[in-house]
Amino acid sequence: MKVLVTGATGFIGRQLSLDLAMQGYDVKALCRNTDHPYLIKHKNIEPVTGNILYRQSLGRAMQGCQQVYHTAAMAKMWCRNPDDYHETNVVGTRNVLEVAANAGVQKMVYTSTCGVWGPTVKHPMSENDPRIAGFPIAYERTKYLAELEVQNFIKQGMQVVTVNPSRVYGEGPVTESNTVGKMVSAYMRGKWRFIPGSGEQVANYAFLSDVVDGHIAAMAKGQSGERYILGGEDISFNDFFNTVCEVSGKKHRLIHLPLKAIECYSYVEKLKTQLTGLRPFFLPEFAERLKYDQKYSSNKAIVQLGYRITPFAEGMHKTINYLKQA
């Protein structure tokens, strides 16, 4: 069976392409540049040049495909042109949906994010919980709007399953949007020196190969119109770095930076970016988020899709081995 994967050079998309190829699918791997270093070479992977912003290229790529995995997104922390988030995540997703509807694609899996829920209060969020905060972070805002686009197409009878991975880490390249990979590899080089605040804030970390399996299970068993959180364990910053320290065998002293200091620094960075156009290291909307937990429950996916969670220590062990070899 022919399947299209958009974002085939991305952190999730490339591993998904490889797993599908190894399971015997004919994978068309959509990427803007087929010479991209992160594109995986495999006899079942056919690289296709295209861009989700150009519908014509999507039409060519989807020819003969029965299934589409739409993983392409603008997931960076910062873009020089802030409209890029809306273009890629909302308009791009609408394009993929429109072309898929016309090309006779049978089913689609759309990769959203737990960021559409954002901060949590006490208990882990699940699919039916409401979002409690606003949308100051452009990535979360545009991914939320993209989910509304998906809902519109579902109403018209299209078969689309949405998956919502949490913070994904694992055996893959340290791309710009792979924030966990950036943190871990910096720690191993002795370049990561701080923990925000008390370090007790909790986030949810999903292991890449679990997330990839979750995508494939969502295509096979997922109900159209439903959303499935694909997460992992809820881990505090302190536990995160304790595990990284134990697994890597490298002990670096980390300083607890007060959240107020991080917030002030983020405003300096924002001003720097506004004046010079240089990439900011950190922005106020992310500093604000450090005050909250981000806990998510993958129960629905576990029950309905047979989703499995790799224990954090085990996943981190594999990740660090991968980063050591890379």
* String of contacts with another protein for each residue 138-157, x by CB under 8 A: x--x--xx--x---------
Phi, psi of 238 (to 5 degrees): -60, -50
* Position among 1, 22, 132, 220 found at the interface with another protein (CB under 8 A): 132
Determine the Cα–Cα distance for residues 6 and 71; give it in Å rounded to an integer.
5
Minimal distance, residue 122 CB to another protein, in Å: 5
Residue of 24, 82, 249, 277 interacting with another protein (CB under 8 A): 82
Q: Please, what is the minimum distance in Å from the beta carbon of residue 238 to another protein? A: 23
Number of residues that bind another protein (CB under 8 A): 18
**C-alpha to C-alpha distances, 202 to 41, 197, 208, 237, nearest whole angstrom:** 37, 12, 19, 7
Burial 49-76 (b: 16+ CB within 10 A, else e): ebbbeebebbbbbbeebebbbbbbbbbb
- Residue whose tokens read 């899996």: 109
Site for another protein contains 122 (CB under 8 A): yes
Residues whose CB is less than 8 angstroms from the CB of residue 6 and which lie 6 or more positions away in sequence, other chains included = 13, 30, 52, 68, 69, 70, 71, 72, 96
Decide: is 220 part of the binding site for another protein (CB under 8 A): no
Contact between residue 109 and residue 163 where contact means Cβ atoms under 8 Å apart: yes
Q: Are 139 and 289 in contact (CB under 8 A)?
A: no
Q: Does the footprint of another protein cover residue 80 (CB under 8 A)?
A: no
* Closest to another protein by CB, 123 or 250: 123
Q: Does 81 bind another protein (CB under 8 A)?
A: no
* Minimum separation from the CB atom of position 82 to another protein (A): 7
* Residue of 1, 22, 121, 220 that binds another protein (CB under 8 A): 121
Q: Which of 64, 134, 190, 311 binds another protein (CB under 8 A)?
A: 134
Between 121 and 220, whose beta carbon lies closer to another protein?
A: 121
Q: Using the rule CB under 8 A, is 296 a contact of another protein?
A: no
Locate all alpha helices (DSSP H) within 86-207, ordered by sequence.
92-102, 138-155, 179-188
Which residues form the interface with another protein (CB under 8 A)?
Answer: 82, 86, 121-123, 128-130, 132-136, 138, 141, 144-145, 148
